[in-house]
Amino acid sequence: MRIDKYLSNANFGSRSEIKKMIKQNMIELNGKIIKNGKEQIDLTKDIVKVNGKKISLETKRYLMLNKPQGVISATKDSSQPTVIDLISSKDKIKDLAPVGRLDKDTTGLLLLTNDGKLAHELLAPKKHVIKTYHALVSGIVDDSLIERFKNGITLKDGTNFKPAKLKILSINKENNTSKVSISISEGKYHQIKRMFKANQMTVLTLHRLSMGSLFLDNSLQPGAYRRLSSQEINILKNKK
Sheet holding 27-29, edge to edge: 32-33, 27-29, 48-50, 53-55
* pTM of the predicted model as reported, rounded to 2 decimal places: 0.79
CATH code at 130-211: 3.30.70.1560
Higher-pLDDT residue of 93, 159: 159
CATH-assigned architecture of domain 62-125+213-238: 2-Layer Sandwich (3.30)
Question: Distance of CA 69 to CAs 48, 123, 132, Å?
Answer: 39, 22, 18
Homologous superfamily of the 3-55 domain (CATH): RNA-binding S4 domain (3.10.290.10)
Please tell me if the domain spanning 62-125+213-238 has the same topology as the one spanning 130-211. yes
Active-site residue identified among 103, 115, 142, 157: 103
105 is annotated as an active-site residue? no
Q: What is the mean pLDDT of the chain?
A: 91
For the chain, which residues make up each domain, given as ranges?
3-55, 62-125+213-238, 130-211
10 closest CA partner among 68, 51, 41, 56: 56
Higher-pLDDT residue of 52, 204: 204
pLDDT digits (tens, 9 = 90+) for 4-23: 888 887 777 788 888 999 99
- Please report, as a single letter, which amino acid is at residue 164: A
pLDDT digits (tens, 9 = 90+) for 72-120: 999 999 999 999 999 998 788 889 999 999 999 999 999 999 999 999 8
pLDDT digits (tens, 9 = 90+) for 106-158: 999 999 999 999 998 888 877 788 999 999 999 999 999 999 999 999 999 99
Assess contact for 87 and 225: CB atoms under 8 A: yes
HEC secondary structure over 105-160: CCEEEEEEECCHHHHHHHHCHHHCCCEEEEEEEECCCCHHHHHHHHHCEECCCCCE
Q: Is the pLDDT of residue 43 over 80?
A: no
62 closest CA partner among 117, 8, 107: 117
